Amino acid sequence: MHVPGFVSFPNTLDRHLCKEWLKTLGLTVGAVLGLFYVQNMYDNLGEFIKRGASAAEILQYYLLITPSLLSPVIPLSVLIATLLSYGGLHKNQEINAMRSIGSGLFHLMRANLLITILLTAGLYALSLGGQSWSVEKSRELFEKLIEHRDLSGKKLPESEMGWVRQIAFENKVTRHFWLFNSFHKPTQTAYGAYLYFRDKTGNEEERLTARTATWEPETQTWLFREGRRLFFDENRLPLRFENFDERRLKGLDEPGTLLAPTRKLSDLSIQELHDQAMTGSLGYNKESRRYQIRYFQSLAGPINCILGLMLGVPFAIAGQRINPMVGATRAIGIFVAYFMLSGFCRMLGENALLVPAAAGIVPPLLLGIYAIWKMIKVR
């Protein structure tokens, strides 16, 4: 039996469904993004004004954070837009009319499914570069507006701003251990720098100490000044030492990697999460696993665009006698349960009861299975 319009794509029904869904999606993205802006302004705008930030600087900040907001905004908007658009069509009996001429559930969502796949690919591509750039640049501007000025709005002297005290960082892959008494972010200079080189068994092979260590981004080099290299034998006893005025070393960790543990996990970009995840052995300790889980969850995030459509359509068109908002409430409840499941998997991963990759992948996988089951049931 030939199903009208099933083979040709896109047909009139596809274009109609796509038009209604995209129209709602555009309005929803704007509304949800606006809510994220309002929340951020509630937290930061007052402080910006106190510090004397200009309107242009504030506008620049919100333009910079916009790409990083798209990752949570678009999947949520897809779910809401699906519930509203398909729910409205169902309420007006349009969905029933389409199904009466042989259009199945997949036919009703195939055009918009293609769009969500493209959105997922776009968000994934954004996460590989643009999102990290957005997080890091907006954070840099935030620190410039907040940390570099006093409450009167007057710019602080460079010697008084951007200090981080007591930094310790261990790279389990390269077996390097760093200690800084203090680090000055504007000049990318550490004071009281210690760098330990270890062998595979964890024994110290070499220790480098210096009065200062400056990062040179142009050459990706650390410049150590007024220091000493101390070498150890196989029994971990001092073997010899060399004093130096200046020494440059390449292939070491960048300042961003060293400073990442001093920041909140939620303030790190995907690239910084990747760097932290890769510098520690998988499952080595709870802190290392936290970075790895957050990294894998961030990578799996874009797939929520597809899941939002797959979950939203069955809930929006299921049943003849219930209010469309009932289905919408249930679908949003499922997504709330999904985020609770994500938190539970994160807890299991941090306590080594689940490998980090599984902690990030299992929640969307289970939601996808549930969405497919729901689609089969409604079909």
**Better-predicted residue by pLDDT, 247 or 9:** 247
Q: What is the pLDDT of residue 4?
A: 47
Whether 196 contacts 176, CB under 8 Å:
yes
How does residue 305 score in pLDDT terms, banded at 50, 70 and 90? very high
Mean pLDDT along residues 211-217: 94
The mean pLDDT value for 72-91 works out to 88
The contacts of residue 255 (CB under 8 Å, 6+ apart) are 183, 185, 188, 215
Ramachandran class of 202: left when φ > 0, alpha when ψ lies in -120 to 50, beta otherwise: left
Q: Work out the pLDDT band at 117, boundaries 50, 70, 90.
A: very high
- For 257-298, the pLDDT digits (tens) are 888 888 888 888 888 888 887 776 544 567 778 888 888 888
Alpha carbons 144 and 63: distance in angstroms, whole number:
16
Distances (CA, A) of 113 to 14, 117, 291, 352: 11, 6, 32, 36
- Is the whole model's pTM more than 0.75, yes or no? yes
> What pLDDT, on the 0 to 100 scale, is given for residue 9?
65
Q: How confident is the model at residue 101 (pLDDT cuts 50, 70, 90)?
A: confident
CB neighbour list of residue 237: distance below 8 Å, 6 or more residues apart: none
Beta bridge partners of 210: 193, 227
Higher pLDDT, 147 or 195: 195
How high is the pLDDT of residue 35? 92
Tens of pLDDT, residues 336-364: 888 888 889 988 888 888 888 888 889 99
